[in-house]
Amino acid sequence: MNWGQKLNLYLALIRWDRPAGWLLLLWPTLGALWVAAGGFPGWHLLSVFVLGTILMRSAGCCINDVADREFDKHVKRTAQRPVTTGRVSVKEALAVGAVLALLAFVLVLSTNALTIGLSFAALAVTLAYPYAKRFVSMPQAVLGVAFGMGIPMAFAAVRGEVPALAWVLALGNLCWVLAYDTEYAMVDRDDDLRLGMKTSAITLGTWDVPVVMLCYLLFISIWAVALINHAQVAIFVIALLVALGQVAWHFTLIRSRTREGCFKAFRLNHWLGLTVFAGIVVSFAAK
């Protein structure tokens, strides 16, 4: 196998062709960065958090694929992943993940001590998540914690402290992760039941769609209440109304619980995140 083929396998390993995953991480992190800075945070911090988000999500994919390699071969959607098929060895995948995580850590070193400390907590949750699916009935909550760590880190990097506002935003983001990752879990529910995996889609049963909708509403409500006095009200409210329109669209996609509809809803979530982020950026610019 030549280097070009090997590179393509590594790119497949980190889901380079599927940017929705790191966009879901990026938008709330950047939103928190803008709020913490009261506007544009500067090119240094913007670069650190954009590149760091991409690197850590890619590292997380490596860890996840190693942890799930025996399960993935029995699921149609994941059966052709490089580690599952053996085209990339476990050692290779872990090495790639370690290099990516190390690069992300180098970026964090250019911030401050509090942000560096929080990065270790973020790494710990990232390592724990792939195994939570074996023991926790709602592993999506663990993912929500992992995907929300960028929020307190953003405040720490800008202000040197993590105020209560950061944790409130992280709580709202946790609700959003529960919503979209439950949609994702609904795609594989039959396979996960057969394999004995634990997911929110299985735990919730027929309550899956109502709870997903509730989580969306909680996310938007928490961020609205938390930020209404920080952003330019009219612009931010318009962005949230557009986001609510997208939530209504998601309901039409998942209410029949088809694999295609649920997967499409999941993949569209980065547009919802972009809408909220854009509302924050424009509203702070207007102020």
Percent helix, strand, coil in the chain (nearest 5)? 80, 0, 20
pLDDT digits (tens, 9 = 90+) for 182-233: 999 999 888 888 877 888 989 999 999 999 999 999 999 999 999 988 877 8
The closest of 36, 42, 35 to 231, measured between CA atoms, is 35
> Which amino acid would we find at residue 155?
F
Who has greater pLDDT, 31 or 195?
Answer: 31
Domain 3-286 has CATH 3.20.20.140: no
Block residue for tokens 């039941």: 193
- Read off the tokens for 255: 């209410």
Place of tokens 């959003």: 176
Supply the pTM of this predicted model.
0.93
pLDDT bucket at 52, cuts 50 / 70 / 90: very high
Distance CA 235, CA 283 (A): 6
Which residue did the predictor score with more confidence, 21 or 149?
A: 149
Report the alpha-carbon distance of residue 287 to residue 279 in Å, rounded: 12
pLDDT at 6: 80
**How confident is residue 2, by pLDDT bands cut at 50, 70 and 90?**
low
Residue 1: pLDDT band by 50, 70, 90 thresholds?
low
**What pLDDT digit, counting tens, does each position of 133-181 carry?**
778 888 899 999 999 999 999 999 999 999 999 999 999 999 999 999 9
Percent share of the chain, pLDDT over 90: 69
Q: Using the 8-state DSSP alphabet, how is residue 207 labeled?
A: G
Rounded distance between C-alpha atoms, residue 270 and residue 74, angstroms = 28
**In the predicted model, is pLDDT for residue 72 greater than 80?**
no
Judged by average pLDDT, the poorest of 19-23, 56-60, 178-182 is: 19-23
Token pair 């942890």 is found at 67
The ranges assigned to domains in the chain are 3-286
How far is CA 282 from each of CA 33, 46, 48, rounded to the nearest angstrom? Answer: 14, 16, 22
